[in-house]
Structure 1
Amino acid sequence: MKMWGFLIALIVIFSLILILFFIGQVFYSLVLHMKIDKEFITGPLYKMDARGLRYENEFRQYDPKDIYITNKEGLRLHAIEVDRGSKKWAILSHGYMGRNGELVDVCNFFIKEGYNVLSISQRAHNKSEGDTISMGYYESDDLLDWIQYIVKRDPDCSIVLYGVSMGAATVMMTLGKDIPRNIKAAIEDCGYTSAWDEFAYQLKKMTKLPSFPIVHVANLITKIRGGFQFKQANPLNAVNKSRIPTLFIHGTKDDFVPTNMVYKLYHYANYPKQLLLIENGEHAVSRFKDPELYFSTLKQWIQQFA
């Protein structure tokens, strides 16, 4: 009888391990592997409404160009560039499952402020190559390649980094790297503290399940298949290392990346820094909720530091 009990226990344990392994594989495939549709997470992907069409028509008047570079891994990366001959550049990073065309209104703002703009397609998005989304970990290396692309063209240029959601995480993680002196200021809108924190939050929100053991197993699978761990995608550590003036923006009704994350980011960041909360702003749309406050704050920030 003891032997049978021992065998049953082994079978149960082995079955649980297989189930968790399967869940980890599903998590990676659904959330981070670009071969699978992700509208169940993001909702309907960005569709151009009348307002967006107006912004895009205005942007097209500036004669944007498609630009490609090859990163250190050999991936061909895409961006849209408007070069107005200025010494000032703004590099824009879209969010998870986004497209650089979502940020045409922000491009228009920077152009009117006398900037050239480079709106990048993050790896595995749009026309950029890649299979895995790394929540800012590898994407921050790509952003550094884009920075070098501009600096090689103009060693005396000034650069502002701007990102929304995962793009904000990409920007913040880049700030923690060895970046050139050309980076004068950064703006992050609704970024998360770490991929681990975001996944644990989303798991609880969507399924009511605790992070252990699902996120732990998904992290292991991601390490095996994607080459990185969730805690390595850590904007919180990066802003603590950074000395770049950073403007933190978040909507008070953001339930995708919870608003409380921005308080921690702001607390850990070094001076100079500023926190802008957009009342009743939801995820990644603060600039539409209160555009006057949003863009006037951006204008003051870049005039002060860039």
Structure 2
Amino acid sequence: MIKRIGLIISWLLLITVIVLVGAANYFYNVAINRSDEAIKLYGTEEAVEAVSALEEEQKRLQDLRSWTEKQDFEEVEIQSDDGLTLSALYLKNDAPIGKTVILAHGYKGNNEQLPEVTRFYYEKGYNILKPDARGHGKSGGDYIGYGWHDRNDLRKWVDYVIEEKNETSIFLHGFSMGASTVLMASGEDLPNEVKGIIADSGYTSVKDEMAHQLKYLYHLPPFPLIDITSLVTEIRAGFSFEEASALNQVQKKKSDLPLFIIHGEKDELVPSEMAEQLYEKTSGEKKLWIIPGVGHTQGFLDKEEEYKHRVMEFIDAAMKQ
């Protein structure tokens, strides 16, 4: 009888393990594996509504398209540390002021996005580099790095604009996954040419963000599925959810490298509490702006003039250090 109970328990454990591993591989394929298909994410409805509202402003959109089409973007490439070909668009300013911004896009995005932000910086005299993150756009890679391996790619892009474009004053500005990318990069040994970092709507860590999505989309607790999916990701993509932490990286940031954290108060995709945690843990010069009533990455669109003013104010202060 005891032998039979033991056999039943063993079979149940085996079935549980098989189900969990299968579920973990499913979540890897949905969230980590490279795919051009859009996926459902919790907290994206307000972003869709904002985009729809923007699309109704036909004149503004047409002006933006017209401006973008007139710009002479140069397609450039570098090699990542692990041998991937990474692609970016570089826009040299016709009336440069000696500053460059590297824009980091969000999850499932590409370097053709952020046209409003691109025009804003260009009109201020900046040269602009817009990389495709690994696993996105024209860049190589069969997985999405959520900012972790991308932090090293971003460091390579910084070296590129210094060595190939002779840039001497560089700012990093990221949105959503791109925000976490620049935050993760802040903990690396960035050259002195990098003068400041702007992170709009970034998450504290991949583990925290995955747990947030799992809870609200599938109503499941983080343990054990997040941990098993993290193990699958480490095997298949070479990083774990726990190590991919912007929170740990900002604590390593050079104290003289200014950081500006921006987040919408009504952000459901990446809760604003994450911005507060990042601000508390970061070392050195820092600013935090939680924008009242604003959703995920919608600060620039919803509070455009104030957003521009605060960003320029931050950059001006950073350049005086």
TM-score band w.r.t. shorter chain: over 0.9
Which amino acid is 2:179 matched to? A
Q: How far 1:57 sits from its partner (Å)?
A: 2.3
Does the 8 A contact of 1:143 with 1:174 survive in 2? yes
* 1:29 has 2:42 as partner: no
Q: How does 1:142-157 map to 2 (within 5 A)?
A: 142-154=153-165, 157=168
2:278 aligned to 265, 278, 303, which one?
Answer: 265
2:144 aligned to 133, 144, 147, which one?
Answer: 133
* 1:64 has 2:77 as partner: no
Q: How does 1:1-306 map to 2 (within 5 A)?
A: 1-35=1-35, 37-41=37-41, 49=55, 50=58, 51-84=60-93, 85-154=96-165, 157-243=168-254, 244-306=257-319
Does the 8 A contact of 1:20 with 1:217 survive in 2? yes
- Contiguous gaps of at least 5 residues in structure 2: none
Q: How far 1:39 sits from its partner (Å)?
A: 2.4
Cα distance in 1 between the residues matched to 2:9 and 2:245: 38
Which amino acid is 1:27 matched to? F
Query: Normalization by structure 2: what TM-score?
Result: 0.90
Q: Larger deviation: 11-20 or 108-117?
A: 108-117
Instruction: Call closer, same or farther: CA 1:126–1:97 in 2, change over 3 Å.
Output: same
Q: How far 1:73 sits from its partner (Å)?
A: 1.7
Which amino acid is 1:272 matched to? E
Query: Normalization by structure 1: what TM-score?
Result: 0.95
Q: How far 1:55 sits from its partner (Å)?
A: 2.3
Which amino acid is 1:77 matched to? L
Does the 8 A contact of 1:33 with 1:131 survive in 2? yes
Match of 1:81, SS state, is: strand
Does the 8 A contact of 1:31 with 1:38 survive in 2? no
Cα distance in 2 between the residues matched to 1:82 and 1:190: 25
Q: How far 1:276 sits from its partner (Å)?
A: 1.1
Deviation per CA, 1:19-74, whole angstroms, max 9, x where unpaired?
A: 01101111111100013723223869989934444323223333222112222222
Instruction: Call closer, same or farther: CA 1:52–1:284 in 2, change over 3 Å.
Output: farther
Instruction: Report the aligned-residue RMSD.
Output: 1.9
Q: How far 1:203 sits from its partner (Å)?
A: 0.6
Instruction: Call closer, same or farther: CA 1:53–1:28 in 2, change over 3 Å.
Output: farther
